[in-house]
Amino acid sequence: MQDIIDRLDRLRTEARLGGGQARIDAQHARGKLTARERLEALMDPGSFEEMDLFVEHNCTDFGMGESHIPGDGVVTGAGTIYGRRVFAFSQDFTVFGGSLSESNARKICKIMDMAIKVGSPIIGLNDSGGARIQEGVASLAGYAEVFQRNVLASGVVPQISAIMGPCAGGAVYSPALTDFIMMVKDTSYMFLTGPEVVKTVTHEDVSAEQLGGAITHSTRSGVADFAYDNDLVLLKQLRRLLAFLPSNNREAAPRIDSGDDAKRPIYSLDNLVPNDPQRPYDMKELVEKVVDNSDFMEIQAGYAKNIIIGLARMDGRTVGIVANQPMILAGCLDIASSIKAARFVRFCDCFNIPIVTFVDVPGFLPGLQQELGGIIKHGAKLLFAYAEATVPKVTVITRKAYGGAYDVMSSKHLRGDFNYAWPNAEIAVMGPKGASEIIFRSEIKASTNPEAKLKEVTAAYAANFANPFIAARKGFIDDVIMPHDTRWRVIRGLQTMEGKQLALPWKKHDNLPL
């Protein structure tokens, strides 16, 4: 019996070496952790249980029959993060470059099926050169099996992808189907075709970093939600992200005693909005002051900066924050910001996360490029997302909400539960000056002093229409609140709507304006 135990220990030790010490050293030399080191850093100590350690590929073509490494390039299993069960796979670049084989894919699909059955998050630590070429269509079939499970798991359990090395071709589609993508600066890349292929086909000379690096995808393409300096920082932040989320779509996110007084007044907010309506202010200051302990995990912070999205807690409960940012494009909605916010609102609704919206929006960004780019359809995505969301929704208008953008930003008309406005808020079809120029055009033109007349009628319009009390009289605003009371009023609104149930007409699925 001892011989059998010794042999098992030896085989386990060999399997855990992956592609061997030389390749492990090469991985470390690139500033990267190995597949197993990443799982150790991610999971609670000692909690990870590996599955299918001894699985090998079954390919015999191109000399592959002479090369078998246990595990076949991916480590799969289950463990806990902050005591909650998660399933994870970690691709091993030291084994065949982390390429996906038929056997490799079966291992991944196995833990994904388990996660869906028991209602636990799925985490993919991706470091792969793509499909294993030697296996041909079998490896492509493996990718498709993974994709199918990504789709089945969507909206059922949270799916998070960490890109921790080069991911090309089919290797990028699975992450694209998941809820969040995290990348490591300088060592991780995502592209369908690499720089060499691009140069051959289009004659463009581009580096891997320019084509698909973490900075590119987190600031320009919007593909990545987060970009971090190294593997360890990413894994720490992945744990933080999961702590905000429920395990599945039938649960609420864990409630935490934050120690932050729910009724805490914030008097500095009374002076946040400048008297000059043209002057910007930082909406992120408001967000960080009202949430518990200023702990706000911003998502896509470097992309479409005219809107802010992220996760926080209020009175210990996870909330999704959406806020216009007056510092960028005056807070206008454009194509990129509409898509960014719409996807986040839909994610929150999938996983029972209440949505808090802070509004200061002058409208949709005008311009030829926006119209040609389809701002009508892309802006409708955000409208659609808010309108279909059934979670508690609390909205605060801090300065202005003009035109269709007022409707889109979680207005009462899109089934907002509590809609508040600060006393200086303006809610109208457009700004007072623009509206007055249209409404009083003939009077201004007939005046001996058109400029003075415009000022006069603009002031009268602003006093009579561009204020929150008109909307409040019609029931579109539930209350006009003092800025320093914002935290407590939002929390009280969320408390009131806890347990909200909203029935929808039967449908197979909706038809989002993609």
Catalytic residue among 131, 214, 405, 421: 405
What residues does 364 pair with on adjacent strands? 333
Active site residue 169: yes
Catalytic residue among 170, 194, 320, 493: 170
Token pair 């971090």 in the structure block, residue: 228
Active site residue 379: no
Assigned token pair, 378? 């892309």
Active site residue 466: no
d(C-alpha 186, C-alpha 169), whole Å? 19
Beta-strand ranges (E) seen in 296-387 are: 297-299, 307-314, 317-324, 355-361
Beta strands 355-361 and 317-324, pairing class: parallel
d(C-alpha 339, C-alpha 51), whole Å? 38
Active site residue 316: no
Q: Quick one: which of 301, 347, 293 has its CA closest to 325?
A: 301
Token pair 């991911």 in the structure block, residue: 167
CB atoms within 10 A of CB 434: 17
Radius of gyration of the chain (CA): 26
d(C-alpha 145, C-alpha 156), whole Å? 18
Catalytic residue among 136, 222, 404, 434: 404
The residue count for the chain: 514
3-state SS string for 183-250: EECCCCEEECCCHHHHHHHHCCCCCHHHHHEHHHHHHHHCCCCEEECCHHHHHHHHHHHHHHCCCCCC
Beta strands 189-191 and 297-299, pairing class: unpaired
Q: Tell me if 40 sits within 8 A of 79, measured CB to CB.
A: no
> How far is residue 161 from each of residues 190, 194, 228, 263, measured CA to CA in Å?
12, 20, 13, 37
Catalytic residue among 169, 320, 379, 493: 169
Q: Tell me if 89 sits within 8 A of 113, measured CB to CB.
A: no
Q: Tell me if 59 sits within 8 A of 134, measured CB to CB.
A: yes
What residues does 161 pair with on adjacent strands? 124, 181
> How far is residue 483 from each of residues 39, 339, 344, 348, 425, measured CA to CA in Å?
44, 29, 26, 26, 11
Assigned token pair, 72? 């076949």
Catalytic (active-site) positions: 169-170, 404-405
